[in-house]
Structure 1
Amino acid sequence: MAVEKLVNYKQDNRLPLTISKKEARLYLSFIVFAFVALFIGGLMGLLQVLVRSGHFTLPSWIDYYSILTVHGVVLGLVLTTFFIIGFQFALMGKTVGISDRQRRLGWLSFWVMAIGTIMAAITILAGRAAVLYTFYAPLQAHPAFYIGLALVVVGSWIACFVNWHQLAVWKKKHPGEKSPLLAFMVCINMAMWFIATLGVAATVLLQFIPWSLGWTATINVLLSRTLFWYFGHPLVYFWLLPAYMAWYAIIPKIIGGKLFSDSLARLSFILFLFFSIPVGLHHQLTEPGLDSTWKFIQVVLTFMVVIPSLMTAFSMFATFEITGRKKGFGGLFGWLKHLPWKDVRFLAPFIGMLAFIPGGAGGLINASYQMNSLIHNTIWVTGHFHLTVATTVVLTFFGISYWLIPHLTGRTLTKSINRLGIIQTIFWTVGMTIMSGAMHIQGLLGGPRRSSYSDYGGSEQAAEWGAYQMAQAVGGTILFIGIILMVYIFIKLAFFAPKGNEEFPIAEEEENAEPTPMWLENWKLWIAITIALILFAYTIPIFDVIQNAPPGSPTFDWPIGNS
């Protein structure tokens, strides 16, 4: 009987739901906000690399650390979070549907997040929140910055509950059936996001806001950093898992293939949920006050995430090979040659996949107890960040945009826009290769991150760094051209492309695939294991940090007055 229901579900899933115009406006609003953030954050990034080259000086009314904060917050938090929530809303609407009440709550999520973002942005641009992306204490921002961040988190929580309710309603109507794969993936990602943001919400609400308002004179710096990185590392996987959703369930359709294994995809997401959160201490390996035993335990847990990453790589290349061979392309690499390289919906995400190979290798170095001491606080880490998030994730998001935006606006991806998209992808790949590569090399030579200084008093090291800083400026300029092209493509797809019906590609599962075990949807078990791992990894370290806290740190007005 259970197998029968699984088979029936497969047949029903070949007829995905239609997205109404009211729904499309909600989903598109998040994505429009994300592309505005892309342009603003990209411009700030361009200014940074020009300053670091040593051949460009900012006007006196612009502070380097303010634009650095804008770049990190707007691209790392705003662009990604808004795009992800809009994309995930679209996936849920397409696979399980959305009610009028859920849609209204979706709009509430959007406006709360938008208001919070604007509040934080105003304080940064006014020079009252030059605290960088990580907003480390004892640097202090205006209270509106922290309140704005809290609103962004609360707004995202509303989206979490809407997505979970959408799946719950669907499951109530389809008892005994496995949930649609994409809906399952979205709810896993939102569960991870909700659990992770409890840490940053706690430090912002209980530490930073009272401190910035003057209600408390000091702040426990180590506790604030520990709670931030409890959130900061799973944030990376919150960015990455939507890209994995596209790789697993959308790219196979685009290349004319089918999903390799529904079970493997679900299991990989469950493992990401387990091993993405209880590992934040590997970002604090050089910080005193944290017991080295717990740092080592979290390093081991960090390396466990390699397992679902390799499962994903195996699944994707199995899909590519099976699809190519079914089409009659033989030989060792014949299937690879005949992938749709001229289709930007495939090309951009595929380059993102390739970038994750060196990006993942760099992540292993960052998380290694010994090697981390070599690259910690160097610009190597910035280069790694741009390989993983700014290449793997962002290129996949661009690939999604080429079909999602015209689908939501009732337009089509034309051949000319597709060609322009390929050019944009090449610009992005070349620019990021030059810039990120130079950052990695300069980092190995000791070049610092989070700093505007390019010469350090004319030292010998500065001369050695000069060529790499200039390469970063060249790569960053090429990247900004890519951003301008992408914004133009977005406007074209949203408002000027010919009217039509662009496909919302969702892959079917292979006909001979084994039925997905129903135990994979044991949500209570997966959440319980996740919480147990978190309690194991964090209870004693946080207790120690609180119990053995040194005298709190007062406000520190560097590099400019922030209070």
Structure 2
Amino acid sequence: MKSIYLIDPKDGKLIKTHLFLAFLALAIGGFAGLLQVLVKTGKVVLPFNISYYQILTVHGVLLALVFTTFFIFGFMFAAVSRTAGTFSKKIRLLAWTGFFLMLIGTLMAAWMILLNKATVLYTFYAPLQAHAIFYIGLALFFIGTWLEGIAIILHYAIWKKTHKNILSPLLTFMAVVNSIMWIIASFGVTGSIVFQMIPWSLGWHSTINIVISRTLFWYFGHPLVYFWLLTAYMAWYVVIPKVIGWRLYSDSLARLAFLLFLIFSIPVGFHHQLMEPGISHSWKFFQVFLTFVVIIPSLMTAFSMFATFESFARSKKDAGLFGWFKQLPWGDARFVVPFIGMLAFIPGGAGGIINASNQMNAVVHNTTWITGHFHLTISTTVTLTFFGVSYWLIGHLTGRILTKKLNRLAIIQGISWAIGMTIMSGSMHIAGLLGAPRRTAFTDYGGAAQAKKWISYQLAQAVGGSILFISILLVLFIVIYLAFFAEKGIQEFPVATMDVHDEKPLLLLLENWLLWIGITFFVIIIAYAIPLYSMIQHAPTGSSGYQLW
């Protein structure tokens, strides 16, 4: 009899392919990151005329975009297949089509970066210009993700047709919200690529409207952060309670939090552009306000997680202020590694509040403080959660188990990551407060006197980055071993549940997609329609005669 924990092998092949490509990107991008911190010490020179900014582009694109996106869709496919049933042939074909578009796009962009024809960093800000193939590759990548997101949404729609007036599985619901948010948000950056970057790089237009291009990027850029975080939250809300042997704290709270992220995570991009001209202060203030509203579902998530831990401890007759802490499974890597990520989000979230505050942002803007901040959020909170998920998901897909030795090694990996990131991110934050600029190599700091001012922090970053690279090697070893060599057996796909009968009317309201997507577009239009119209209206006319460029 087939185990209820085994995902259909055809779905499993799709999921494993996504995960393996994600970890390949992690390996290459992680090595590029190691080279970065070594070069910034001033003691290492790259061979073959490879520039610092070339490896910076490799590191940013492969880790912040390729690793995360392939992993996220792999995990969401696994979550939906596990909780809403096996994909149909048509849904699977759509997902595979999206995957190959993503792969082709990634290879095209990587090709140009390696040829040093797309050294434009992760944000690819104009007027830095890459080869047209780079931009075409990015466009194909995003279109591929849309197809994968649509596959998840269609599978959910099919499930709802056959389960009328029945609440959808929570993990599936979360994957649908995340997919909708991604598709809506990535229209911005894809529109900029297709209608601005590609014609500009091909020479069809000699100029480009930089304010619009940066606005469309950050219309996407901040929701991208929540695309990462919501995937981690999927594991926190549904997987972690099951791992510790408990149940969901509140199904309705989890769904409401995700819907609030859908509504408020997109129209907040101006808080990344507080120092830029061409945008009215009133509109910047409005989007900063919306940014602070997004803190609410994050606090809801924190409350839900620690309420889960406390209620679990009380079930063990261990109350008190720190009773929950003693009862948690500190010997289980599936819990420990993501929990380290949860703790990292406390200073990471506090740093995000600082970055979104106009006056304080003026102090840290474009310094290594910002670099340290997103290494706490994506590179610790999100990445460690992804690692924790991998330690059971890969075994679930390959029919192999996380043995005691592998489990112990995984805990060591999580702790080593925490140590390395504390050293590296901490030194980035301190150097940023002293004025050290981000996106610059050591030799670009403005002379020996300035370089000497930050050298100790650069050396600390090199130490922390080296520890992180060793931790990446541990991750890759565990992943490969789980995929091909570990002891065979059934590895559980942990999914926590709860009795939701009393909450059913409210929960069915939370699946009124016309309502929630309508509210989302309404808020987006309020936040962006007038500012974008003003940018187009007041843009200088280029030689092409089009104000958009």
Same fold (TM over 0.5): yes
The residue correspondences of 1:208-227 to structure 2 (distance < 5 A) are 208-227=197-216
3-state secondary structure, aligned to 2:50 = coil
- Return the match for 2:527 from 532, 537, 540: 537
Pairwise CA RMSD of aligned residues?
1.5
Q: Which of 180, 187, 199 lines up with 1:191 in the alignment?
A: 180
Percent identity over paired residues: 62
Cα distance between partner residues in 2 of 1:17 and 1:408 = 9
Q: Distance in 1 between matches of 2:143 and 2:416?
A: 36
Which secondary structure does the structure 2 equivalent of 1:521 belong to?
Answer: coil
- Equivalent residue for 2:101? 112
Match of 1:520 in 2: 510
1:419 aligns with 2:408: yes
1:88 aligned onto 2:76? yes
* Corresponding position: 1:24 with 2:24: no
Residue 63 of structure 1 and its aligned partner are, at CA, apart by: 1.3
1:483 Cα deviation after fit: 0.5
Q: 1:452 & 1:283 partners in 2: Cα distance?
A: 22
Distance 1:204 1:426, change over 3 A: same
Q: Aligned partners of 1:260 and 1:550: how far apart in 2? A: 55
**Aligned partner (choices 349, 356, 375) of residue 386 of structure 1:** 375
* Offset of residue 405 of structure 1: 0.2
CA distance in 2, matches of 1:213, 1:483: 39
The answer (yes or no) to whether the contact 1:219–1:553 under 8 Å persists in 2 is: no
Q: Give the Cα–Cα distance (whole angstroms) in 1 for the partners of residues 39 and 437 of structure 2.
A: 14
- 1:1-20 aligned at under 5 Å gives the runs 18-20=6-8
For 1:317, give the aligned amino acid. Answer: F
Compute the displacement of 1:512 (Å): 8.7
Supply the distance in 2 between the matched residues of 1:515 and 1:536 (Cα, whole angstroms). 32
Residue of structure 2 aligned with 1:429, choices 398, 402, 418: 418
Q: Does 1:305 align with 2:297?
A: no
1:550 Cα deviation (Å)? 2.7
Q: Work out whether residues 17 and 93 of structure 1, in 8 Å CA contact, stay in contact via their aligned partners in 2.
A: no
- Residue 221 of structure 1 contacts residue 552 of structure 1 at CA under 8 Å; is this kept in 2? no
Q: Tell me how far 1:514 sits from its aligned partner.
A: 4.0
* Amino acid corresponding to residue 72 of structure 1 in structure 2: G
How many residues of Structure 1 are paired with residues of Structure 2 in the alignment?
Answer: 540
Match of 1:494 in 2: 483
Give the CA deviation at 1:492. 0.3
SS of the counterpart of 1:331?
A: coil
- Number of the residue aligned with 1:68: 56
What does residue 363 of structure 1 align with? 352
Instruction: Describe how 1:48-447 pairs up with structure 2 within 5 A.
Output: 48-97=36-85, 98-447=87-436
Check the 8 A contact 1:253/1:505 in 2, yes or no: yes
Q: Which residue of structure 1 lines up, in the alignment, with residue 21 of structure 2?
A: 33
After superposition, what is the alpha-carbon deviation per residue over 1:86-118, rounded to whole angstroms, capped at 9, x for unaligned? 000001101112112111211111111011101
Question: For residue 11 of structure 1, what is the aligned residue in structure 2?
Answer: none
Contact residue 32 and residue 58 of structure 2 kept, 8 A: yes
Give, in whole Å, the separation in 2 of the partners of 1:27 and 1:511.
Answer: 30
Is the CA contact 1:356–1:388 (under 8 Å) kept in the aligned structure 2? Answer: yes
* CA 1:313–1:457: 2 relative to 1, 3 Å: closer
Q: Is the 8 A contact 2:135 2:198 kept in 1?
A: yes
1:59 is displaced (CA, Å) by 1.4
The superposition leaves residues 377-408 of structure 1 with CA deviations (integer Å, 9 ceiling, x where unpaired) of 11110000100000000000000000000000
CA distance in 2, matches of 1:431, 1:516: 47
* Aligned counterpart, 1:8: none
Taking the aligned partners of 2:323 and 2:505, their CA distance within structure 1 comes to 31
Distance 1:259 1:173 in 2: 25
Q: Cα gap change, 1:357/1:289 in structure 2, threshold over 3 Å: closer, same or farther?
A: same
SS of the counterpart of 1:209?
Answer: helix
From 460, 469, 472, the equivalent of 2:458 is 469
Q: Is the 8 A contact 1:414 1:497 kept in 2?
A: yes
Please tell me whether the aligned partners of residues 17 and 95 of structure 1 are also in contact (alpha carbons under 8 angstroms).
Answer: no
In 1, are the aligned partners of 2:313 and 2:327 still within 8 Å (CA)?
Answer: yes
Change over 3 Å in CA distance of 1:454–1:438 after alignment to 2: farther
The aligned amino acid for 1:48 is Q
Distance in 1 between residues matched to 2:415 and 2:397, nearest whole Å: 26
Quote the offset at 1:160 in angstroms: 1.1
Separation in 2 of the partners of 1:278 and 1:284?
A: 13
- Deviation at residue 462 of structure 1 after TM alignment: 2.7
Residues 337/205 of structure 1: CA separation in 2 closer, same or farther (3 Å cut): same
Q: Distance in 1 between matches of 2:499 and 2:309?
A: 13
Amino acid at match of 2:81: G
SS of the residue corresponding to residue 35 of structure 1 reads helix
Which deviations, in whole Å up to 9, do the C-alpha atoms of 1:426-477 show, x marking residues without a partner? 1110000100000000000000011013573545443221111110000000
Unpaired stretches in structure 2, ≥5 consecutive residues: 545-549
How far apart are the structure 1 equivalents of 2:198 and 2:59?
23
3-state DSSP of counterpart to 1:312: helix
Q: Is the 8 A contact 1:39 1:487 kept in 2?
A: yes
**Hey, what's the Cα distance between the residues in 1 that align with 2:278 and 2:541?**
13
C-alpha separation between the residues in 1 aligned to 2:193 and 2:227? 20
Mark the CA change 1:511 to 1:298 in structure 2 (over 3 Å): closer, same or farther. closer
* Aligned equivalent of 2:34: 46
What TM-score do you get using the length of structure 1 for normalisation?
Answer: 0.94
The match for 1:557 is none
> Partner residue of 2:474?
485
Letter in 2 for 1:548: H
- Distance of 1:376 and 1:268 partners within structure 2: 29
Hey, what's the Cα distance between the residues in 1 that align with 2:131 and 2:493? 43
Task: Supply the distance in 2 between the matched residues of 1:324 and 1:407 (Cα, whole angstroms).
Answer: 28
Matched residue of 2:182: which SS?
helix
TM-score normalised to the size of structure 2? 0.96
| Cα contact 2:400–2:488 (8 A) shared by 1 | yes
Question: Match of 2:125, as an amino acid?
Answer: Y
SS at match of 1:310: helix
CA distance in 1, matches of 2:492, 2:58: 35
Alignment partner of 1:250: what SS? Answer: helix
Q: Shift of residue 328 of structure 1?
A: 2.5
Q: 1:74–1:455: structure 2 CA closer, same or farther, 3 Å change rule?
A: closer
